C-alpha cells in the first residue's frame, strides 16, 4: 500500500470508528431515556406497597448488613433504592453517611415524604447508575434488583468498573438478583438471571465472596420469586 493510500485508509478507519462511538453513545442515551420514563411512570402511577419487589422490612439485607458489623460512621449507598425501606432501617440504626440513588426522581420523592424530617440526613441522587460519578468511596454498596436489569455486557462491565472504583478496600458489596430459577422479567423488563456462582465469577477479580444464599421473595400478589444474594468483600 502506498503512503497516500495508507493515510486514506487510516482516515477512513478513524472516521468509521468515530461514527460507531457516536452511534453507540446516542443509542445508549435513547435507551437511558426510555428506561428513566419507564421507572418514573411506575412510581407516579403505582402504589409502592403493591409492586412486585415490595417488602415491608428488608430482612435479608438487614441480616447480612448487621453481620458485617460496619458502624454508623461508615458510608453506605443503596443503589436503585427506590421507595424501599432499607433507608428507614439505616437511619434507625444511626448510620450517618447514607446515599440513596435511583434513576427515578419520583421514587426518591416518595421515599423522602414517607421518611419526613429524617430524610434531610440522607444524600439523594437521582441518576442512572451507569452515569454515576461518585465523589467519595463507600464502605457498603447495596443493590437489590438493579444490577439484573443490565442485560448488555458493556453495561455490566461499566457497573463492575464502578463498584471496583467506588468501594474502599475491605468494604462490602451486597448484590441481589433474580436467580436462574426466578422470573425472567421484573417490572415488565427483561433481566439477566444469576446463580451465586455466576455472581462470584463476575466480581471475583476485585471481590471475595464471603456469604451467599438463595431465597424466595413473596410478592404482594403471593408469587414466589427466587433471588440470588451475594455478599462480597473488596480485596
Ligand atoms: C425492582 S426495583 C427495586 C427497588 C429496591 N432496591 C428494593 O429492593 O425495594 C428497581 C429499582 O431500581 C431503579 N433502577 C432501575 N434501573 C436503574 C438504573 N439504571 N440506575 C438507577 N436506578 C435504576 C428503579 O427505579 C427501581 O427503583
What sign results for the dihedral spanned by CA atoms 132, 84, 121, 94?
negative
Q: Per the domain annotation, does 76 fall within a domain?
A: yes
pLDDT tens per residue, range 176-210: 999 999 999 999 999 999 999 999 999 999 999 99
Could you give the number of structural domains in the chain? 1
Give the cell for residue 90: 439505616
Q: Cα–Cα–Cα angle for 65, 195, 58, nearest 5°?
A: 30
Q: How far apart are CA 160 and CA 29, in angstroms?
A: 20
Host domain of residue 133: 59-234
Ligand 1 contact via 147 beta carbon (within 6 Å)? no
Q: Ligand 1 atom 12: the closest Cα is on which residue? A: 80
Confidence of residue 31 (pLDDT cuts 50, 70, 90): confident
**5 is a domain residue:** no
pLDDT digits (tens, 9 = 90+) for 2-29: 777 878 877 787 778 888 888 878 887 8
- Ligand 1 within 6 A of 104 CB? yes
76 and 90 Cβ atoms separated by less than 8 Å = yes
Predicted pLDDT at 22: 84
47 in a structural domain: no
Pick from 30, 146, 183 the residue to mutate for probing ligand 1's pocket: most ligand atoms within 8 Å of its CB.
Answer: 146
145 CB less than 6 Å from ligand 1?
A: yes
Instruction: Provide the pairing of β-strand 185-186 with 189-190.
Output: antiparallel
| Residue carrying the nine cell digits 453481620 | 67
Residue 208 within a domain: yes
- 117 in a structural domain: yes
82 C-alpha vs ligand 1 centroid, how far in Å? Answer: 6
The string of pLDDT tens digits covering residues 139-170 is: 999 999 999 999 999 999 999 999 999 999 99
- Count CA atoms within 13 Å of residue 103 on its CB side: 19
Q: Which atom of ligand 1 lies nearest, measured to the CA of 130?
A: 19
Report d(CA 230, CA 235) in Å as an integer. Answer: 15
CATH of residue 64's domain is 3.40.50.150
Q: Classify residue 40: in a domain, yes or no.
A: no
pLDDT of residue 16: 80
49 lies in a domain? no
In a domain, 70, yes or no: yes
The tens digit of pLDDT for each residue in 80-118 reads 999 999 999 999 999 999 999 999 999 999 999 999 999
CB neighbours of residue 116 within 10 Å: 8
Q: What's the DSSP call for residue 151?
A: -
Amino acid at each position: 500500500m502506498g503512503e497516500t493510500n495508507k493515510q486514506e485508509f487510516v482516515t477512513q478507519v478513524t472516521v468509521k470508528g468515530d461514527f460507531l462511538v457516536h452511534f453507540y453513545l446516542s443509542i445508549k442515551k435513547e435507551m437511558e431515556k426510555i428506561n428513566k420514563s419507564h421507572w418514573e411512570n411506575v412510581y407516579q402511577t403505582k402504589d409502592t406497597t403493591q409492586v412486585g419487589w415490595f417488602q415491608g422490612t428488608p430482612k435479608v439485607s438487614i441480616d447480612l448488613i448487621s453481620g458485617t458489623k460496619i458502624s454508623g460512621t461508615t458510608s453506605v449507598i443503596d443503589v436503585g433504592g427506590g421507595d424501599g425501606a432499607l433507608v428507614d432501617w439505616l437511619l434507625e440504626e444511626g448510620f450517618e453517611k447514607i446515599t440513596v440513588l435511583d434513576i427515578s426522581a419520583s421514587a426518591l420523592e416518595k421515599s423522602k415524604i414517607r421518611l419526613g424530617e429524617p430524610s434531610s440526613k440522607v444524600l439523594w441522587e437521582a441518576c442512572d447508575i451507569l452515569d454515576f460519578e461518585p465523589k467519595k468511596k463507600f464502605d457498603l454498596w447495596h443493590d437489590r434488583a438493579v444490577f439484573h436489569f443490565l442485560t448488555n455486557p458493556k453495561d455490566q462491565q461499566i457497573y463492575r468498573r464502578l463498584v471496583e472504583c467506588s468501594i474502599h478496600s475491605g468494604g462490602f458489596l451486597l448484590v441481589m438478583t433474580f436467580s436462574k430459577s426466578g422470573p425472567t422479567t421484573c417490572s415488565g423488563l427483561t433481566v439477566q438471571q444469576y446463580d451465586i456462582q455466576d455472581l462470584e465469577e463476575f466480581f471475583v477479580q476485585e471481590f471475595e465472596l464471603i456469604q451467599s444464599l438463595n431465597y424466595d421473595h413473596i410478592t404482594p400478589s403471593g408469587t414466589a420469586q427466587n433471588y440470588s444474594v451475594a455478599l462480597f468483600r473488596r480485596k
